[in-house]
């Protein structure tokens, strides 16, 4: 006789902040993130913590996008049952894909979002040192943003390399999140 499978805990939606406020929050956070070390208070972060701060910033952007997805779906008239199912999806790339498919919105942002998630974890949990690759057997970590030469191809780091974010990287990530927000609002 085994233990029953754990049930997911879902906090019921009591009220909505609306997509306008969710979008505004995402944009404000993205612009703050893009300002990097020039932001008030950021320069007071002890030198050994910038990776954790950057990882936390990426986590916050992901969370704000996740909330915007819920708000867009609610305003699009999804049923209460569908909204509850959507709220249970914690993985933002999966949730984005589901919303885009249902609402006929341009898709294809899941690959860089997944890469950004892996980079976020590397920054937050490993101090920016690449400890694992894109999957279990990979020896490289693909970054979620294009290379610094203005290209469109994301670059990779090998296990043991140090991951850091340049001002150009911060700006690209900020524009990427705002772009997704714009697509959701227009859809």
- What would the pLDDT profile of 122-179 be if each residue is shown by its tens digit? 999 999 999 999 998 999 999 988 765 555 667 899 999 999 888 888 999 999 999 9
Domain-embedded: residue 12: no
Domain-embedded: residue 156: yes
Range of the domain at 31: 18-186
Interhelix angle 167-186/18-35, rounded to 10 degrees, is 170
> Are the CB atoms for 180 and 108 separated by under 8 Å?
no
pLDDT at 95 over 70: yes
* Range in 10-24, 36-50, 154-168 with the lowest mean pLDDT: 36-50
> Are the CB atoms for 133 and 159 separated by under 8 Å?
yes
pLDDT at 82 over 90: yes
Q: What is the mean pLDDT of residues 107-132?
A: 93
Whole-number percent of the chain with pLDDT over 90: 65
Domain-embedded: residue 3: no
Domain-embedded: residue 11: no
Domain-embedded: residue 33: yes
**According to the model, what pLDDT value does residue 44 have?**
46
Domain-embedded: residue 4: no
Domain-embedded: residue 10: no
Q: Domains in the chain: how many in total?
A: 1
b/e map 101-131, b = 16+ CB within 10 Å: eeeebeeebbebbbbbbbbbbbbbebbbebe
Q: Where are the alpha helices (DSSP H) in the chain?
A: 18-35, 50-75, 80-87, 92-103, 110-126, 167-186
Domain-embedded: residue 1: no
pLDDT at 49 over 90: no
pLDDT band at residue 2 under the 50/70/90 scheme = low
Q: Are strands 154-158 and 140-146 parallel, antiparallel or unpaired?
A: antiparallel
């Amino acid at each position: 006789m085994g233990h029953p499978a754990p049930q997911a805990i879902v906090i019921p939606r009591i009220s909505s902040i609306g997509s306008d406020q969710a979008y505004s929050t995402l944009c404000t956070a993205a612009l703050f993130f893009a300002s990097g070390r020039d932001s008030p208070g950021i320069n007071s972060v002890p030198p050994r913590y910038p990776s954790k701060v950057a990882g936390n910033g990426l986590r916050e952007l992901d969370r704000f996008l996740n909330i915007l997805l819920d708000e867009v779906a609610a305003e699009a008239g999804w049923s209460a049952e569908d909204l509850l199912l959507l709220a249970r999806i914690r993985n933002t790339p999966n949730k984005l894909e589901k919303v885009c498919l249902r609402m006929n919105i341009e898709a294809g942002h899941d690959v860089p979002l997944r890469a950004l998630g892996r980079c976020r974890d590397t920054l937050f949990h490993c101090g920016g040192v690449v400890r694992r690759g894109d999957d279990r057997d990979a020896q490289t970590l693909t970054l979620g943003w294009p290379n610094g030469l203005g290209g469109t191809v994301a670059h990779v780091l090998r296990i043991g390399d140090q991951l850091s974010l340049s001002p150009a990287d911060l700006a690209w990530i900020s524009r990427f999140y705002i772009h997704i927000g714009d697509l959701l609002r227009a859809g």
